[in-house]
């Protein structure tokens, strides 16, 4: 594989909160030093209770999203209930592991809410799946981890989690040249999967007085 195609930059984050899960990404897609696209979707609704963020090769990420959407839909039809977050993560991990010798060049976060509460899982190209209270992936992740380590608190609400995710990705966009072009944020809770409007995100940025 062309080495330049591997050098894809991204910033994504998943945060567990007492009333749900927050997932967020920025929108820039790069190929080496080239900004290839300025409005790339990296945050996906998998089911009403599950979302996924993607970092890495766009084609690999898109096909993996299609696989997981199809499998969760079939599960719901077969059993009459949504798939658990652990099951969705394990399924995706098995798909990745089955291709480890010709791997999908991605880092994924699978997150959502089920009968056991909110969960976020980090998945690597070899099929590793690890749950944590918060996760960030991509080239901008070191900057986000600094923000999360400093500001995350147990029992925070999704409203607070959204502000924290925006703060973290904003920090990455200031220092990571492969991250930029705006922020997408979703809340997953008992009401389902909800993507925040651009106006809501911008209003929160202004309220927190984050500099562009």
Which residues are paired to 12 by β-bridges?
25, 137
* Helix, coil or strand: residue 105: coil
Answer yes or no: are the C-beta atoms of 24 and 13 closer than 8 Å: yes
DSSP-derived 3-state class of residue 95: helix
| Closest-CA residue to 22 (of 116, 111, 154, 92) | 111
The two tokens of residue 196 are 């925040």
R_g of the chain computed on alpha carbons: 16
Return the active site residues: 10
- Say if residue 41 is exposed, middle or buried (CB neighbours under 10 Å; 0-12, 13-18, 19+): middle
| Exposure string over 15-25, b if 16+ CB within 10 A, otherwise e | bbbebbbbbbb
């Amino acid at each position: 594989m062309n080495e330049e195609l591997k050098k894809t930059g991204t910033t994504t984050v998943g945060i567990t909160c007492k009333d749900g899960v927050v997932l967020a990404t920025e929108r820039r897609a790069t190929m080496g030093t080239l900004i290839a696209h300025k409005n790339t979707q990296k945050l996906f609704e998998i089911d009403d209770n599950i979302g996924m963020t993607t970092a890495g090769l766009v084609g690999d990420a898109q096909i993996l999203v299609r696989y997981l959407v199809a499998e969760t839909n079939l599960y719901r039809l077969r059993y009459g209930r949504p798939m658990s977050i652990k099951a969705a993560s394990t399924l995706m991990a098995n798909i990745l592991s089955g291709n480890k010798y010709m791997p999908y060049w991605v880092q994924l976060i699978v997150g959502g809410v089920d009968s056991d509460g909110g969960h976020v899982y980090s998945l690597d190209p070899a099929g590793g799946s690890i749950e944590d209270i918060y996760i960030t992936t991509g080239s901008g992740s070191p900057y986000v981890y600094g923000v999360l380590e400093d500001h995350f608190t147990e029992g925070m609400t999704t409203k607070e989690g959204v502000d924290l995710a925006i703060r973290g990705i904003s920090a990455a966009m200031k220092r990571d040249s492969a991250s930029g072009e705006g922020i997408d944020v979703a809340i997953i809770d008992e009401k389902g999967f909800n993507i925040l409007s651009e106006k809501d995100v911008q209003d929160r940025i202004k309220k927190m007085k984050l500099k562009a």
